Structure 1
Amino acid sequence: MSFADIRRSDREERRISPVFWVLLAILGTSGWATWSGYGSAGFGVFLFVVAGWMVSLCLHEYAHARTALHGGDITIGAKGYLTLNPFKYANGLTSFVLPVVFVLLGGIGLPGGAVFIERHRIQGRLKHSLISAAGPLVNLAFAIVLLVPVGQGWLDDAPGTTQVGSTTVHVLPAALAFLGLLQVSASLLNLLPVPGLDGYGIIEPWLSPQTRRAVQPFAPYGMLAVFVILWQSQVNVWFFDQVFKIMELFGVGGFYQYFGQYLFHFWQH
């Protein structure tokens, strides 16, 4: 294989997938619609939040893959993980289908996990921890980008408004607040030291081999277990109290969060 062939192959492995461009197009179009007031406010918020959530999941997995590549796993590119194509990930069900279903059912930003990293190629416990931490950090960065404009009031005069009862709601900041809530909840949940989630991946390299072997069989069920526990009312209330406290640090109170989620579930009203 010539040097030119190698360069061409490398570019193809890193070329952004058309699927991701479509997601960005839906996100941008629905964002413009919610900002301008074009079309149904509820349907616009729904498209914006689902597309934004999918984009954040792609970036979450990309961060894992990119960090693993720099950590020593040179197989990442050949697997298509650097193309931001959700269909290239190891398990589309746990990475994209279930997280979207969780959002639809309960407004919980529960992330999935999907890139298959050849850990034996990576030397050093710190590198392994950083690979696991990269995904939640993307969700946190996403949350900051979404919440700062809302908390600072930069969008309070957006032309797109809708009437919910006797309240006039600016649609775009409501959509941003709800999507930001999902990102904050995803960051917190994914940092839990539960097998199958990134929080456990961060501490796993520092555990004894015996402990890792004992925990390994439970990893496929960690995400579902967290969702079941969160379905319990007392745990759910406590968890979202923590999410709301974090959002208040950005100046985003309950007003836009509530109406964003209300508009998102447009089929219920």
Structure 2
Amino acid sequence: MSNTEIIVLALPIILVSLTLHELAHAWVAWRLGDPTAKEQGRLTLNPLVHLDPLGTFMLVATYVIGGLPFGWARPVPVNPSYFRRPKEGMAVVAAAGPAMNFLVALGCYASIVHLSLSGHVADAVSVGYTINVVLGIFNLIPIPPLDGSRILGALMDNATYARWLQLDQIGMLIVFGSFFIFRSEFQDLLASAFNHVTSFMSTITGA
């Protein structure tokens, strides 16, 4: 496919994938007792509510250039004081986003394996699989403010956790710097993780 065809195919899939990721955060936070996301209109499938323009552009650009999408959406507001156990609640909310991406990827992989897809439908499902696996993996990187940092934070004592959250202000700079300075190594690690996930998907779908 040409770059234009890839963009036309990937953009709506990226919008849906990011929306489902953020909606999962919002829904789980609400179910755990935090009404913040719901009150701010984030319990919706409307992608315009969830998307960050720069993050979406980065996803499309890195997917077209390198085949591995790298980007983000607007973070869902979460107030952990509503949770009975704030650190653990934040970890569960954080895990919901990548879990949603992996569930979507599983559906895509099962469709590829067990359905006779062809043409643009097959291309779209394949792109959907790649995007959702990479989004899931990327968000599990344990660097604040990514979801993996909140999951790791549940294992910390309160004082360490408070200092850990202070890295939110510079965490994405660390991720960006790592991506651009060590781009080849970063992509190799991402590709390796992608292959492991694909192997797992193959096992559970009976491919």
Q: Normalising to structure 1: TM-score of the pair?
A: 0.63
What code does the residue aligned with 1:66 have? W
Per the alignment, do residues 93 and 217 of structure 1 end up closer, same or farther by CA in structure 2, a change over 3 Å counting? farther
Instruction: Give the Å deviation of 1:101.
Output: 4.0
Aligned residue in 1 for 2:77: 116
Q: Distance in 1 between matches of 2:37 and 2:53?
A: 20
Once the two structures are superposed, the pairs formed by residues 97-116 of structure 1 within 5 Å of their partners are 97-112=57-72, 113-116=74-77
Q: Note if contact 1:129-1:205 (Cα within 8 Å) is conserved in structure 2.
A: yes
What code does the residue aligned with 1:85 have? N
Residues 68-115 of structure 1, C-alpha deviations (whole Å, 9 max, x = no match): 1111112322201012334434x7246544434443443333352511
Residues 114-166 of structure 1, C-alpha deviations (whole Å, 9 max, x = no match): 111122122214322211100000100111111222234622xx3x3xxxxxx
Instruction: Give the Å deviation of 1:191.
Output: 1.2
Per the alignment, do residues 149 and 42 of structure 1 end up closer, same or farther by CA in structure 2, a change over 3 Å counting? farther
Q: Give the aligned CA root-mean-square deviation in angstroms.
A: 2.7
2:126 maps to 1:126: no
Q: Distance in 1 between matches of 2:54 and 2:145?
A: 11
Q: Distance in 1 between matches of 2:115 and 2:65?
A: 30
Instruction: Give the Å deviation of 1:46.
Output: 2.7
Once the two structures are superposed, the pairs formed by residues 98-177 of structure 1 within 5 Å of their partners are 98-112=58-72, 113-124=74-85, 125-152=87-114, 154-155=116-117, 158=118, 160=119, 171-177=120-126
User: Runs of at least 4 residues of structure 1 off by over 4 A?
Assistant: 40-45, 248-251
Q: Distance in 2 between matches of 1:224 and 1:100?
A: 20
What code does the residue aligned with 2:110 have? V
What code does the residue aligned with 2:39 have? A
Aligned residue in 1 for 2:193: 242
Q: Note if contact 1:190-1:197 (Cα within 8 Å) is conserved in structure 2.
A: yes
Q: Distance in 1 between matches of 2:153 and 2:146?
A: 11
Q: Note if contact 1:107-1:182 (Cα within 8 Å) is conserved in structure 2.
A: no
Per the alignment, do residues 178 and 83 of structure 1 end up closer, same or farther by CA in structure 2, a change over 3 Å counting? closer
Q: Distance in 2 between matches of 1:207 and 1:93?
A: 33
Per the alignment, do residues 126 and 217 of structure 1 end up closer, same or farther by CA in structure 2, a change over 3 Å counting? closer
Residues 167-208 of structure 1, C-alpha deviations (whole Å, 9 max, x = no match): xxxx43234223312211111121121111101111223322
Instruction: Give the Å deviation of 1:55.
Output: 0.5
What code does the residue aligned with 1:196 have? P
Q: Distance in 2 between matches of 1:95 and 1:63?
A: 18
2:27 maps to 1:66: yes
Q: Note if contact 1:73-1:117 (Cα within 8 Å) is conserved in structure 2.
A: yes
Q: Normalising to structure 2: TM-score of the pair?
A: 0.80
Q: Distance in 2 between matches of 1:72 and 1:95?
A: 29
Aligned residue in 2 for 1:5: none
2:36 to 75, 78, 87: 75
Q: Distance in 2 between matches of 1:151 and 1:96?
A: 29
What code does the residue aligned with 1:240 have? A
Q: Distance in 1 between matches of 2:92 and 2:36?
A: 18
Q: Distance in 2 between matches of 1:86 and 1:198?
A: 20
Q: Note if contact 1:129-1:201 (Cα within 8 Å) is conserved in structure 2.
A: yes
What code does the residue aligned with 2:45 have? L
Aligned length: 198
Residues 19-67 of structure 1, C-alpha deviations (whole Å, 9 max, x = no match): xxxxxxxxxxxxxxxxxxxxx9764543232101110101110110011
Per the alignment, do residues 134 and 42 of structure 1 end up closer, same or farther by CA in structure 2, a change over 3 Å counting? same
* Larger of the two Rg values belongs to structure: 1
Identical columns (%): 24
